[in-house]
């Protein structure tokens, strides 16, 4: 599925994005676009996983794969929105 904005274009616009950020952005965005009717629920799940992951990071606990991807996705969004 084609992304609204290709990762290389995002890298040009936001040079602080890492490979991990862009991979997470691509993977999560594709999953959101693949299921239009579940998009809101799925996005809420991703953001909840990002919150859990950040809390675990702050406590020095390991993250599972979903949390790691969600944290990277939220970080990418923050960079693109000028919050990081």
Query: CB under 8 Å, gap of 24 or more: what pairs does 11-16 form?
Result: 13/80, 14/79, 14/80, 16/79, 16/84
How many domains does the structure of the chain reveal?
1
Neighbours of 9 (CB within 10 A): 11
pLDDT at 83 over 80: no
Q: Is residue 42 in a domain? A: yes
Q: Is residue 35 in a domain? A: yes
The pLDDT tens digits for 28-75 are 999 999 999 999 999 999 999 999 999 999 999 999 999 999 999 999
Q: Is residue 1 in a domain? A: no
Structural domain including 31 reads 7-80
Q: Is residue 71 in a domain? A: yes
Cβ(17)–Cβ(76) below 8 Å: yes
CA angle, 40 then 77 then 26, to 5°: 75
Q: Is residue 37 in a domain? A: yes
pLDDT at 84 over 90: no
């Amino acid at each position: 599925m084609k992304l609204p904005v290709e990762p290389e274009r995002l890298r040009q616009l936001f040079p602080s994005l890492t490979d991990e950020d862009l991979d997470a952005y691509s993977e999560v965005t594709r999953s959101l676009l693949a299921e239009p009717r579940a998009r809101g629920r799925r996005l809420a799940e991703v953001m909840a996983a990002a919150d859990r992951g950040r809390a675990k990071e702050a406590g020095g606990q390991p993250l599972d794969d979903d949390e790691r991807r969600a944290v990277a996705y939220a970080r990418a969004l923050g960079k693109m929105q000028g919050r990081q």
